[in-house]
Amino acid sequence: METGGPLAGFRVLELAGLAPGPFAGMMLADHGAEVLRVDRVAAVTDKPRREVMDRGKRSIGLDLKSPEGVAAFLELARHADAVIEVFRPGVAERLGIGPADLHAVNERLVYGRLTGWGQDGPLAPRAGHDIDYVAVSGVLSQLGRAGEKPTPPINILGDFAGGGLMLAYGILLALLERERTGRGRVVDAAMVDGAAVLFSMFYSLTQSGFWGPRGTNLLDGGAPMYDTYETKDGGFMAVGALEPQFWGELVARLDVPDMPDQDPRNWPAIRERLTEAFKTRTRAEWEAVFADSDACVSPVLDMAEAPDHPHNVARGTFVEIGGLAQAAPAPRLLGAATGDLAPATRLDDLTAWGLPDDTATRLRAQGVLA
């Protein structure tokens, strides 16, 4: 068994920002990277940070609007493998910590930039949120029920999947390339780009004529065999019985006679029959009915229930760290350890990052470092 995780030995500077940046840092820290979060001075305390996405990290406060703070950051970057930067385009350059500034002191550095719109294009300087990025990528147009307006999802698709996860992936790509070239690279991770590439299959299906308007398709709630149904006690069951063998298993377990076949012309009648059937028992009763089945039927668990589900318990899908239940690192590299999952704490000794104790003491006395 290896110790420290597959990214042990890699150092990452994470400039504090909203959720997608810390998520990228968490993904790297989970697998052993040494991630140092750089906050504002006023944001740093001696208490461990209870934010889940800061697990496994160390943190400092640094005044990046002062020449001394910028000089200290450049020294930290000299000893880093990667930087996570989440500012609007041009902000890092104005602070003196843009890619050119950092590559001047460390040509091997991978400079990861995460924005909503990217580093160029007409929208690059504009503000935005997840809903805007998934809207412009075309993704939002496909989310929601037929005949209803598009439904904004929780900010998973743009911020986290299209943003933070893509940034972590891009940093790893650049680190792999560095093994051949010896030089770092700038990673331009834009949430609008990430959301668009996540939707690759559906662009293909649309252009091939196999994907129709929102809420009328096989995987978007249009098909009754791929939807959720309320139970007798107000719970819900998720049904994904698409293939004929799974559909046959579902019908048999429901014990509904004369169920129409899956022809789209029968979808309204099928939905009505499924709705009526699931209302006859509680969620727990249906869980028992489908427990050993290949009907692709599962209970819809809330966030308090999910950590206690037998499968999640057996897999160790969730862990408790610092009193907070949270998802364990993923994906798993079998046989390899993960990184330190403890809550983030302040890093006082920065000598390994190139700042001698006397320099750190002086910067703290000046209020530049915390």
Phi first, then psi: what are they for 68, rounded to 5°? -65, -40
Q: Which residues contact 40 (CB under 8 A, 6 or more apart)?
A: 16, 61, 62, 63
The count of C-alpha atoms lying within 13 angstroms of the C-alpha of 82, restricted to the half-sphere facing its C-beta, is 30
Q: Which of 30, 63, 132, 159 is catalytic?
A: 159
Beta strands 34-39; 58-61: pairing state:
parallel
For tokens 């160029």, the residue is 120
For tokens 């070239």, the residue is 181
Q: 38 pairs with which residues across the strands?
A: 15, 60
129 catalytically annotated: yes
Q: What is the DSSP letter of 364?
A: H
> What 3-state DSSP class applies to 297?
strand
Q: What is the DSSP track for 105-159?
A: H-TT-EEEEEESS-SSSTTTTS---HHHHHHHTT-GGG-S-TTS---PPPTIIII
Handedness of CA 3, 9, 15, 20 (dihedral sign): negative
Contact 31, 2 (CB under 8 A): no
Q: Which residues contact 136 (CB under 8 A, 6 or more apart)?
A: 123, 192
Q: Which of 79, 103, 129, 309 is catalytic?
A: 129
358 catalytically annotated: no
Cis status, amide bond into 331, omega within 30 of 0: yes
CA distance 322 to 70: 33
Helix %, strand %, coil % of the chain (to 5) = 40, 15, 45
How many of the other CB atoms lie within 10 Å of CB of 211? 19
Q: What is the DSSP letter of 49?
A: B
Write out the catalytic residue numbers: 129, 159
